Amino acid sequence: MTVKQREVTLRFLAQPADVNFGGKVHGGTVMRWIDQAGYACAVGWSGRYCVTVYVGGIRFYKPVLVGSIVEVHARIIYTGKTSMHVAVDVRAGDLKDQTFDTTTHCVIVFVSMNDHGNPTQVQPWIPATPAEEADLRHFVGFVLADTEDAWGAIFAAAGRTYEPPTLVLFSGAVESACGFAQAAVGPFYCPGDRKVYIDLSFYQDLQKRFGAPGDFAQAYVVAHEVGHHVQTLLGISERNTAARQRASEAEANALSVRQELQADCFAGIWAHNADRSRQLLEAGDIEDGLNAAAAIGDDRMQKQSRGYVSPESFTHGSSEQRVRWFKRGFEAGTIEACDTFATRNL
């Protein structure tokens, strides 16, 4: 295997020793195969020893039978500073006709380690083909699934049920219940259909135009839009919309700012939970999130496009405000800490 190999496939027969009394392969055996293929893929990309820090999104679709030909395919779908997200699919089929069905799927996060046992930087993977862009879509879906875990636990602790949003990935333009939107609008959430809309080209803009590279910066974008979904579930969006309709333009803009800053705070709550319960964050991730929050603050975006800043026209908040509220959610980890509508000092 050569260094920087992005994909690995293991191929073998399911042995009698792998199965239970019903002739089906043990789930633990399948997970061992997944771990082996994922590890080989991560080491092949990084060229170093790697450790597993997270396993998630496990789906057992159907059992693997003794005598089946098995393929375990692992591929890099995202790279962070020191981490690699590896998607692994197990496929099994009949040796005679070589037809295969997907039996198991999961995502594993590995961290590359140096000779001193410390995390070390890996070469970034950048999608270059439609198939590879599909893997980036897989990563965005992975982030959305993690927000479901975080908010599901928070809602359950409050005696409520979290209803996750639907993710829509588009290119160029899209029609939603909130109307027609072009890529220039950027990522958005539509309360009318409860869907999060993400144009993957915005991630390129985040790095090139706004100067906010990094994997966590991209995760922050999803988490912020999910924050708007949480506002919808809690009735905050509906109340704020009604208040804005009764207000002057300046007052309506101020209410929009409060709603956006609360979504930033909610994104911080997700980061808090991801770090505490699943140890998904690595060194520099929070800085990436803060850089993203600062990069798309109204003051910086106005400065880039107009050459001057007009605070009375803000609808998202300044860079300083967005950073402060994201940090507040991350540090407190509670919905109560994110009441931007009750404070006089944003």
Task: Look at residue 15 in the predicted model and tell me its pLDDT.
Answer: 87
CB 126 within 8 A of CB 254: no
CA geometry: angle at 301 spanning 300 and 304, to 5°?
Answer: 85
- Mean pLDDT (whole number) for 174-186: 76
Question: CB within 8 A of 344, min separation 6: which ones?
Answer: none
Instruction: Compute the mean pLDDT over every residue in the chain, rounded to the nearest whole number.
Output: 82
pLDDT given at position 38: 96
Of the two residues 157 and 318, the one the predictor is more confident about is 157
pLDDT over 90 at 211, yes or no: no
The arrangement of strands across the sheet holding 188-190 comes to 166-170, 195-199, 188-190
pLDDT tens, 217-250? Answer: 778 888 999 999 999 999 999 999 999 999 998 8
Whether residue 185 has pLDDT greater than 50: yes
Q: What is the pLDDT of residues 281-307, one digit of tens each?
A: 666 666 666 666 556 544 444 444 444
pLDDT class for 204, splitting at 50, 70, 90?
A: low
- DSSP-assigned states of every residue in 11-73: EEEPPGGGB-TTSBB-HHHHHHHHHHHHHHHHHHHHSS-EEEEEEEEEEE-SPPBTT-EEEEE
pLDDT digits (tens, 9 = 90+) for 38-96: 999 999 999 999 999 888 778 888 999 888 999 999 999 888 778 888 999 999 998 78
pLDDT at 183: 59
pLDDT for position 69: 92
Domains of the chain: 7-112 (3.10.129.10), 130-338 (no CATH)
Looking at residue 78, its pLDDT comes to: 82
pLDDT score of 139: 78
Q: What percent of the chain has pLDDT over 70?
A: 83
Q: What is the pLDDT of residue 335?
A: 95
Looking at residue 171, what is its pLDDT? 72
Higher-pLDDT residue of 211 and 141 is 141
User: Per DSSP, which regions of the chain are E strands?
Assistant: 7-13, 50-60, 69-79, 83-93, 100-112, 166-170, 173-176, 179-182, 188-190, 195-199
DSSP line for 142-179? HHHHHHHHHHHHHHHHTT----PPEEEEESSEEEETTE
Per-residue pLDDT reduced to its tens digit, 243-280: 999 999 888 888 988 999 999 999 999 989 877 766 66
- Of residues 187 and 115, more confidence is placed in 115
pLDDT, average across residues 319-329: 87
Report pLDDT for 196.
92
Higher pLDDT, 93 or 200: 93
pTM summary value: 0.70
